[in-house]
A and B are shown apart, each in its own frame.
Chain A
Amino acid sequence: QSVLTQPPSASGTPGQRVTISCSGSNSNIGINPVNWYQQLPGTAPKFLINSKNQGPSGVPDRLSGSKSGTSASLAISGLQPEDEADYYCAAWDGGLNSYVFGTGTKVTVL
């Protein structure tokens, strides 16, 4: 049972904006940056962006990460079919002394 909670699913039509939330606590999101990962069907996850909006080269700028208090968000603007994937948030938890992943959100492009 993860300490970071995400909605199981999110969806939108092409071109829409979709936001995925990640709810944590003062021991994780409240004090540490949040990373976001994308896992396309049948492939390994890859790091997308963090809550400071920093990510590897090649990540489209229509993706943005942010956090406020003990919650974080990943926003996908201009939704495209290739965005259909599972998305995971993650952060260091000072109470558990471990890196924890969120429960994951499946994004469907309608």
Chain B
Amino acid sequence: QVQLQESGPGLVKPSETLSLTCTVSGGSLNSYYWSWIRQPPGKGLEWLGYIYSSGSTDYNPSLKSRVTISIDTSKNQFSLRLTSVSAADTATYYCARDRFGEGYWGQGTLVTVSS
């Protein structure tokens, strides 16, 4: 059974960089797309972007200048980096398999942006 687990700081200061890692167990990253989706408290879902196992990416244009997704197949991990964060970036961040989360999801990790 494939499992995904997000990890990273739960608190980030405004203007700093949010960095999260998703560790995949029970399966390989190869030949799949891997995505990040977030959900502000009490609100709906927002797609952030995806990466293919080869490293090709696509991002939400509204965040494109601030978001980077990378992958390390040797560690079975992929990562999210979001720069210049503000309170509007406070959300539960989910990693998922497939371009738009049609596969497995992690349990999510809450990241709060506050000084």
Residues of chain A having any CB pair with chain B under 8 Å: 2, 35, 37, 43-47, 56, 88, 90, 92, 96-104
The total of Cβ contacts below 8 Å across the A-B interface reads 49
Chain A residue, CB-CB nearest to B102: A47
Please tell me if the beta carbons of A44 and B61 are within 8 angstroms of each other in the complex: no
Q: List 6 A-B contacts (CB under 8 A).
A: A45-B39, A45-B94, A47-B103, A90-B100, A97-B61, A98-B61
Please tell me if the beta carbons of B100 and A96 are within 8 angstroms of each other in the complex: no
Partner of B47 from A43, A44, A101, A104 at Cβ < 8 Å: A101
Please tell me if the beta carbons of B44 and A88 are within 8 angstroms of each other in the complex: yes
Q: Is the interface of B mostly helix, strand, loop or mixed?
A: loop
- Give chain B interface residues in 84-115, CB to chain A under 8 Å: 94, 98-103, 105-108
Partner of B107 from A44, A56, A90 at Cβ < 8 Å: A44
**Other contacts beyond A43-B107, A46-B105: 19, CB < 8 A:** A2-B44, A37-B45, A37-B101, A45-B101, A45-B105, A88-B44, A90-B45, A90-B47, A96-B61, A98-B47, A98-B60, A98-B61, A99-B100, A101-B44, A101-B45, A102-B44, A103-B44, A104-B44, A104-B45
